[in-house]
Amino acid sequence: AELRRMRTSAGISAEFAAGLLRVDRGKISNIESGARPISADRLRTLADSCGCTEATYVDALAEMAQPRSRGWWEKYRGVLPDGLLDIAELEVHAHRMRAAYAMHMPGLLQTTEHA
């Protein structure tokens, strides 16, 4: 999505980008939707053609474009619900985790001393 935003902001058509990267137009659409990977060199070429000079932004995009290793949760695809697998993947990439627990206290136990 960031590549599409960068390309359209620069006024570059998908056909021009495809010619620049020497791929067909369909591949550009697949790259921008995340269905196909893009190499860091091609990403930098596209960013340069779009006039994007912010090095940290381009480096972050290039890092995101690198192929990811398969996590332990991948062998459970089709067995466990996708939501649980998404949570497992998020936990692997998390820098910090916070948890909050809600507890129901029956009305008879809700006393002034307890509060």
Q: Which of 47, 65, 83 is the last residue of a domain?
A: 65
| Band (68; pLDDT cuts 50, 70, 90) | low
Residues 27 and 46 in one domain: yes
pTM of the model: 0.54
* Co-location of 7 and 54 in the same domain: yes
**Residue 107 above 80 pLDDT?**
no
In tens, the pLDDT along 9-65 reads 999 898 999 898 888 888 888 888 877 888 888 888 889 888 888 889 888 888 887
Q: Quick one: which of 33, 35, 53 has its CA closest to 44?
A: 53
Is residue 109's pLDDT more than 80?
Answer: no
Q: Is residue 13 in a domain?
A: yes
Q: How far is CA 41 from CA 45, 48, 49, 78, 95, in A?
A: 6, 11, 12, 35, 28
CA 47 remoteness from chain centre: 18
Selection from 22, 17, 82, 84 nearest residue 47 by Cα: 17
State whether 13 and 28 are in the same domain.
yes
Reply yes or no on whether the pLDDT at 83 is more than 70: yes
pLDDT of residue 115: 64
Q: Residue 86: which domain range?
A: 67-96
Stretch 76-95: mean pLDDT? 86
Query: Which residues are registered as beta bridge partners of 77?
Result: 80
